[in-house]
Amino acid sequence: MAQIATSEFKNGMTLDLDDGLFTLVEFQHVKPGKGGAFVRTTLKNVRNGAVVERTFRAGERMERAIVDKKEMQLLYRDGDDYVFMDTASYEQLNVPATTLAEAASYLVDSSMALLIMYGDEIIGVDLPASVELDIAETEPGVQGDRVSGAKKPATLVTGLTIQVPLFIEPGERVKVDTRSGEFISRA
C-alpha cells in the first residue's frame, strides 16, 4: 500500500484507515498560534455513506487506498443482483442492489456505468451527470390545467418516481439529473 502524508491530501482521495475506507470530502490545514499544526478533515465512509469529521497531526502518514474505475455495461437484472460485463475482457460480474444504492434507479439494460473498485470489492458507481430514461406511467395532463410551472408525478422504467411538467406523456423519453433526481428536459 502507498503511504501518504497529510500535506499531500487532495479532495476525492480515498484513505484506508483503521475503522474503514473513507473518501476525503474536504480538508483544511490549521496552524494555531500556540501548539503544533493540524489538518481538519471531513471524510465519507464509502461502504455506508456516513460522514465524519476527523483531525490529523500535520505530517502524519496513513495508507492511501488505490481505487480502480472500470467501465462496465449492465446486461440484465438477476433477482436482486445486477449483472455487469467488462467491455474489454467480456468478464461478467454480479453486483448486489445494496452496493449500487441510489445509482440502481438510473440504470437500465445495456447502459454503461463506471464501477469504482477497491481490489475485487465494488465500493461505488460513478454515473454521468444526466441519463435518458423512458416514462413508464404518468397521469394525463387535464385540459385547462395549464398553470405555469405545474408538475405531476411520473414513474420511470427503473421504478424511480420524479416530478415532470404536465405535458409529458407515458412512453416519452426524458433527461434526468442523476445528482438530484430531477427532470431536466425531453430527450
Tell whether 13 and 31 lie within a shared domain. yes
Sign of the CA dihedral with 41 first, then 44, 45, and 48 last: positive
The rounded distance, in Å, linking the Cα atoms of 26 and 11 is 6
Contact in structure between 172 and 166 (CB atoms under 8 Å) = no
81 DSSP β-pair partners: 78, 96
Nearest by Cα to 186 from 123, 110, 112, 135: 135
Mean pLDDT, 10 residues at a time, over the chain (187 residues)? Answer: 85 88 92 90 87 91 89 88 89 85 84 86 84 87 66 87 86 88 85
- From 111, 126, 141, the end of a domain falls on 126
Quote the pLDDT of residue 145. Answer: 59
If you search the block for the grid coordinates 397521469, which residue do you land on? 139
| Each residue's pLDDT tens digit, 147-166 | 667 788 889 888 888 888 88
Tell whether 58 and 6 lie within a shared domain. yes
- Domain holding 96, by residue range, is 68-126
Name the CA radius of gyration of the chain, rounded.
21
- Tally of domains within the chain: 3
